[in-house]
Amino acid sequence: MIFTQYYLDCLSQASYLIGDESTGRAVVVDPRRDINEYVQDAEAAGLTIEVIFETHFHADFLSGHLELAEATGAAIGLSDVASPEFDAKLFADGEKYSLGEIELEILHTPGHTPESISIVVREQADAEPWGVLTGDTLFIGDVGRPDLLASIGFEKDDLAEMLYDSLHNKLMPLPDATRVYPAHGAGSACGKNLSTETSSTMGEQRADNYALKAPDKQAFIDMVTEGQPPAPEYFAYDAILNRKDRDLLDEDSPIDALDLAQVEALVATGTMLVDGRGPDEFGNGHLVGAVNVGLDGRYAEFAGSVVPSDVDIVMMVDEGRELEARNRLARIGFDRVVGYLANPIQVMIDNPDKVRQASRLTAGELAERMESVPDLQLVDIRNPGEFADGAIEGAAPMPVGQMPGRIGELDPSKPTVVYCAGGYRSSVAASYMRNHGFGDVSDLLGGYGAWTPVPA
C-alpha cells in the first residue's frame, strides 16, 4: 500500500493519497484545490487516480474534487445522502471499494454534517482495519463541531445527536490498533480541542479524547455544542460552494501586474487591497486603505474572515510570491483576484504621501495609555476560549472572525487598541478598522503574551 498524508499548516487541513502497488489504482481523499502535487505524486508512483472521495461538503476550504476530476478523469465519491450539483458516484453505508488487494469501506458517520463519511482502509479484504480516515467526524483529541450548518437550516443539537451515534456505533467498535487519520489538526475552527498530532489510534482516542469519554448522549451534546470558536465569515460560503459545479482553478495561470494608478482606480470602485507582508513590515509603512493579512500566517483563513467573498481583490506581496498568494486565496474560493501591485516597495518610496505607518504599542505604552486616555476603547480579538483564560481588564471581546458583523458595536471616533495572542491577528483587525473609518487605532506588540507580566 502507498499511503501519503498531505498536511497544509496554514489551514490545518489533511488530505490523502491511497494506492495499491499491485494494481496501480489509487484514490485521493479530501484534496485541496491546488491539485498538482497529487497528480505528480501519483504519476511518480505509477498510480492512476480513479476516485476522489470527499468525506463531506467542507466549510473551511474549497475542495479540489472538480479540479482533480478534470485533470485525471477520476469519479468523485460522496455519501449517497449527499445531493451534489455535479456528477458523482454515491456510496451507501457499508459499501466497499476495492483497489486490488487494498479494500476501502465507506461508513456513513453523520453529525458534523448529514452527509459525512469515514473510510476504513484494509490491506486485504476481510483483514483487520489498518486505518480509518475520519474526515471531520473524529479528530485527534476532539470531534467535529455540529453547529457550522446552523446558518443554512440545520439544528446543532440534532447533528450532535447524530454525531454521538456515529462515533459510538461506527468508529468506536474499530480495534484499538486501527490508525486514525482526520481531516484537520490544531488551529482549525472545525473543533475546539484539536491536537497538534496528525494521526493517532482508536485505542489512544478512546483513552484520551474528552468527547469519547462523555458518560451519556446528553452530556456529549452539551460538551460539543459549547465553547466552539467563532467560524470565519467565509465558512457558510464554502459549505454551499462545495456542493456546486463551479469554475476551475488553474494554479499556474498568470496574474495581471498593476501600477499604482490602476490599483487606486480599482480601490475607488470597491476593490480591497490586501497587503500580505508581515505585521512588522506593514506597520513600518503601507498604502492608505490596505488591509494587512500576512502571507506567512493563516493567510486564507484570516483573509476570509475580513474580506467579503463578493468583492474584487488586489494583492500586495513581496515580489515573486504573487502566485502563492493567489492560489492560497483560491483554496477558500476567493477567486476574484484582479491583479497585484507591481514593485510595491518602490511604489511606496516614490509616493510617500500615500504611505502611512501603523501605530503599534508596547505593553508599557499600553499601560500608560490606559491611565491617561479615559475613553480608550480596548478590544480583545482572540477566541472565546483564549479570552476566558485571561484578558486585559476592561477589554471588550470581539473575535476577529466576527468583526465584520459586529464592528457597529464599536465607536470609530474613540481611540482604540486591539490585541490578540501574539500580534498577527491584531494587525489584521487594526488595519480592517482603519479601512472602515476608525481614525485612531493601535495594536499591541506581542499581544497578550507581552502584556501578562505587566501589572494592570
Q: Which residues are catalytic?
A: 420
List alpha helices for 45-147, DSSP H: 65-72
| Strand order across the 48-53 sheet | 2-8, 13-20, 25-29, 48-53, 75-79, 89-91
* Exposure b/e, 180-199, CB count within 10 A at least 16 = b: bbbbbbbebbbbbbbbeebb
Calculated CA dihedral for residues 147, 148, 153, 157, nearest 10 degrees: -10
Reduced to 3 states, what is the DSSP secondary structure of residue 398? coil
List alpha helices for 338-411, DSSP H: 344-350, 363-372, 384-388, 403-406
CA distances from 112 to 37, 128, 375 (A): 28, 26, 43
- H or E stretch at 20: strand 13-20
Return all residues near 207 (Cβ < 8 A) that are at least 6 apart.
none
Dist. CA 309–CA 330, nearest whole Å: 11
- Could you give the count of Cα atoms lying within 13 Å of 244 in the half-sphere of its Cβ? 11
Contact at 8 Å (CB) between 309 and 337?
no
- Could you give the count of Cα atoms lying within 13 Å of 173 in the half-sphere of its Cβ? 7
Reduced to 3 states, what is the DSSP secondary structure of residue 52? strand
Cell reading at 375:
475613553
Cell reading at 242:
462545495
Say if strands 48-53 and 75-79 run parallel, antiparallel, or are unpaired.
parallel
Backbone angles phi, psi at 103, to 5 degrees: -125, 135
To 10 degrees, what angle do helices 36-44 and 65-72 make?
Answer: 40
